[in-house]
Amino acid sequence: EAQVTQNPRYLITVTGKKLTVTCSQNMNHEYMSWYRQDPGLGLRQIYYSMNVEVTDKGDVPEGYKVSRKEKRNFPLILESPSPNQTSLYFCASSLRGRARDTQYFGPGTRLTVL
């Protein structure tokens, strides 16, 4: 089954404790992206990747890191999480990131930073 998977689905952590949220897709997509969803703000793009070893900042990249060492995986790293990073995070992928390529979203990771 074609899908985007994220782990963990729920995470509660404390300020400053490094964490990684994994994202994996099995559709051989070149384009992958991370979003955060906050009430009243919709989804905001954090980082995106056009292909392996090619990443670029989205609208809200501060406090986040990403890497794309393999085509299927695109982990999101919070080196020193803060409470304002409490949010619902979505990973997404599409064939090549073109407007005509359908973007498929993962199920989401709900992160709480205390």
Which of 10, 62, 69, 100 touches other proteins (CB under 8 A)? 100
Under rule CB under 8 A, residue 64 binds other proteins: no
How near is the Cβ of 17 to other proteins at its closest, in Å? 26
Under rule CB under 8 A, residue 75 binds other proteins: no
Q: Which of 4, 47, 6 is nearest to 27 (CA)?
A: 4
Under rule CB under 8 A, residue 97 binds other proteins: yes
Under rule CB under 8 A, residue 113 binds other proteins: no
Which of 21, 32, 34, 48 touches other proteins (CB under 8 A)? 48
Tell me the two tokens of residue 82. 């803060």
What residues contact 32, with CB distance under 8 A and at least 6 apart? 23, 25, 48, 49, 68, 74, 91, 92, 93
- Within 10 Å of residue 21's Cβ, how many Cβ atoms? 21
Give the DSSP letter string of 65-91: EE--SSSSB--EEESS--GGG-EEEEE
Return the residues of window 7-46 that contact other proteins according to CB under 8 A: 33, 35, 40-45
Q: Which residues bind other proteins (CB under 8 A)?
A: 4, 33, 35, 40-45, 48, 50, 58-60, 90, 92, 96-100, 102-103, 105-108
